[in-house]
């Protein structure tokens, strides 16, 4: 993946760092895998605004992604690598031998024409999905299931990955993207490789208008509010607002919000780094 820094021909281009999208092979999505997507504008079913700073944005259609990778033993070929407006990673269109088409999260290094497989006794190559019991130790993985058959919900965003560090009985020890070390059942599936678009975090939009295209409205800083609106509001002149905290008064830095008796605590070997 490559980035390009624009020449400052306009004020918005002065700081802009844009993606070159060299991996993208087509601009037209697969019609059979599209679903309509409605915008809420931050309002609930009664029309009341429940989330602030949401509204507008470009019309989008959802791409149906195969997170379960349950088409075991059937060879699929990568037909295209595409942009997805709903996620930071790129997606790949897979055409299976029986004619079915599915989208998957594209891993780094996946090329058009490459074959992918899922299931038992599959080679641990980029794009293939295996059970954690069959993944070699030390392998970089993404799209990891937390419960067998649930579908991948760990390490799905651009550039993210986890590492299989050990196996103990019916559990695999995974080093998560957050730095947390955790046990997951070896009957869960994971995909080999890291997620594509790894330089996504280095992109700079350059102007406020791009946030509006994404449906993000201007945000008011808490320190400029009144005390009635936010715990950090009020004060004479330019006040610091005191300790950073949320609108509900919950501290924003270093305060643990995880329930201490949560059932999954026993699966966590090492907590994420502060």
Secondary element (H or E) of residue 182? strand 181-185
Q: Is 17 helix (H, G, I), strand (E, B) or coil?
A: strand
Backbone angles phi, psi at 59, to 5 degrees: -65, 135
**Where do the domains of the chain lie?**
3-201, 226-268
Q: Which CATH superfamily is domain 226-268 in?
A: Ribosomal protein L2, domain 3 (4.10.950.10)
Q: Closest Cα to residue 267, out of 149, 147, 156?
A: 147
Q: Which two structure tokens, joined as six digits, stand for 111?
A: 């090329």
pLDDT surpasses 70 at 1: no
Mention every residue, 6+ apart, whose C-beta is less than 8 A from residue 40.
51, 54
Q: Which helix (H) or strand (E) holds 82?
A: strand 76-82
* 21 contact partners, CB below 8 Å, separation of at least 6: 83
The two three-digit tokens of residue 261, written as one number: 């008796």
User: Above 80 in pLDDT, residue 274?
Assistant: no
Q: Structure tokens of 92? A: 């790949």
**Residue-level pLDDT at 272:** 87
Sheet (strand 91-96) strand order: 101-105, 91-96, 76-82, 115-116
List pLDDT tens digits, range 148-205: 999 999 999 999 999 999 999 999 999 999 999 999 999 999 999 999 999 999 999 9
From 2.60.120.560, 2.40.50.140, 1.10.10.410, 3.40.50.620, which CATH number describes the 3-201 domain? 2.40.50.140
Answer whether 188's CB lies under 8 Å from 132's CB: yes
pLDDT in tens, 60-113: 999 999 999 999 999 999 999 999 999 999 999 999 999 999 999 999 999 999
Q: What are 244's strand-pairing partners?
A: none
**Domains 3-201 and 226-268 alike in fold:** no
Q: Looking at residue 272, what DSSP letter applies?
A: P
pTM flag (> 0.85): yes
**Residue 267 in this model has a pLDDT that exceeds 70:** yes
CA dist., res. 272 & res. 254, Å (int): 12
Q: Is the pLDDT of residue 247 over 90?
A: yes
How much is the mean pLDDT over the chain?
96
Half-sphere exposure of 153 (CA within 13 A, CB side): 7
List, in order, residues 6 or more apart from 46 with CB less than 8 Å away. none
Of the chain, the percentage scoring pLDDT greater than 70 comes to 99
- What confidence tier does 2 reach under pLDDT thresholds 50, 70, 90? confident
Average pLDDT in the 27-38 region?
96
**pLDDT attached to residue 81:** 97
């Amino acid at each position: 993946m490559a980035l390009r820094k624009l020449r400052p021909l306009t004020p918005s281009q002065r700081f802009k760092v844009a993606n070159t999208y060299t991996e993208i092979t087509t601009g037209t999505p697969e019609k059979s895998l599209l679903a309509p997507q409605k915008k809420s504008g931050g309002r609930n079913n009664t029309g009341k605004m429940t989330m602030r700073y949401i509204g507008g944005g470009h019309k989008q259609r959802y791409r149906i992604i195969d997170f379960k990778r349950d088409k075991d033993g059937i060879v699929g070929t990568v037909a295209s690598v595409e942009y997805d407006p709903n996620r930071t990673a790129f997606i790949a269109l897979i055409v299976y031998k029986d004619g079915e088409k599915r989208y998957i999260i594209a891993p780094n290094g996946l090329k058009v024409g490459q074959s992918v497989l899922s299931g038992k006794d599959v080679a641990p190559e980029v794009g293939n999905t295996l059970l954690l019991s069959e993944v070699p130790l030390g392998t970089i993985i993404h799209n990891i299931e937390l419960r067998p058959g649930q579908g991948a919900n760990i390490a799905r965003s651009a550039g993210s990955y986890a590492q299989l560090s050990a196996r103990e009985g019916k559990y695999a020890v995974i080093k998560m993207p957050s730095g947390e070390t955790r046990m997951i059942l070896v009957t869960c599936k994971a995909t080999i490789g890291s997620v594509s678009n790894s330089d996504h975090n280095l992109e700079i939009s350059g102007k406020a208008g791009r946030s509006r295209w994404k449906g993000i409205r201007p945000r008011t800083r808490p320190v400029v509010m009144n005390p009635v609106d936010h715990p950090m509001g009020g004060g004479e002149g330019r006040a610091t607002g005191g300790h950073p905290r949320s609108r509900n008064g919950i501290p924003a830095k270093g305060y643990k919000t995880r329930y201490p008796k949560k059932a999954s605590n026993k699966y966590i070997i090492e907590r994420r780094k502060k």
